[in-house]
């Protein structure tokens, strides 16, 4: 994890980006404790760990408590974009959003290739399908 953060930091410095802040903290803590109400316009959840074993499903990032916190912190009309290469986890994500009743599914926007994550580049190069969804705050 720290290796990835350092890599992103080098890119930020190299490209002299002034609108990027990096923080090393567990995301559910960040959203629930540090993000004010109605202050985020868009969340991008890109290739979270699918925790494929059934006994590990409780560790999955997308779950009812996180969705409730995302809803609280999203602005009116805020969006959550998700991407994964894991088909079963994609179905799980879809079910969790639908069960929450707080979001409406929207058509996904295709990202330009320069916006792809390193994971996405690897998955696509390996011929894996990338599943995407986009959810709008009700």
Q: In what order do the strands lie in the sheet with 131-137?
A: 40-46, 74-84, 131-137, 103-106
Q: What are phi and psi of 81, to 5 degrees?
A: -105, 130
CA distance 15 to 18: 9
The closest of 42, 6, 24 to 115, measured between CA atoms, is: 42
Q: Is 49 known to be catalytic? A: yes
Which member of 9, 15, 37, 49 is catalytic? Answer: 49
CA distance 129 to 111: 14
Among all chains, which residue has been given the structure tokens 């996180």?
A: 66
The two three-digit tokens of residue 30, written as one number: 């960040």
CA distance 58 to 36: 26
Catalytic residue numbers, as ranges: 49
């Amino acid at each position: 994890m720290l290796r990835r953060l350092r890599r992103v930091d080098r890119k930020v410095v190299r490209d002299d980006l002034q609108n990027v802040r990096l923080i090393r903290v567990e995301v559910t803590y960040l959203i629930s404790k540090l993000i004010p109400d109605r202050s985020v316009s868009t969340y991008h959840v890109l290739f979270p760990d699918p925790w494929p074993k059934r006994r590990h499903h409780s560790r999955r990032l997308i779950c009812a408590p996180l969705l409730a916190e995302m809803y609280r912190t999203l602005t009116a009309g805020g969006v959550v974009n998700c991407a994964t290469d894991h088909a079963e986890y994609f179905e799980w994500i879809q079910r969790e959003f639908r069960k929450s009743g707080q979001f409406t599914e929207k058509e996904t926007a295709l990202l330009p290739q320069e916006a792809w994550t390193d994971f996405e580049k690897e998955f696509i190069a390996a011929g894996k399908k990338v599943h995407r969804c986009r959810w709008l705050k009700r």
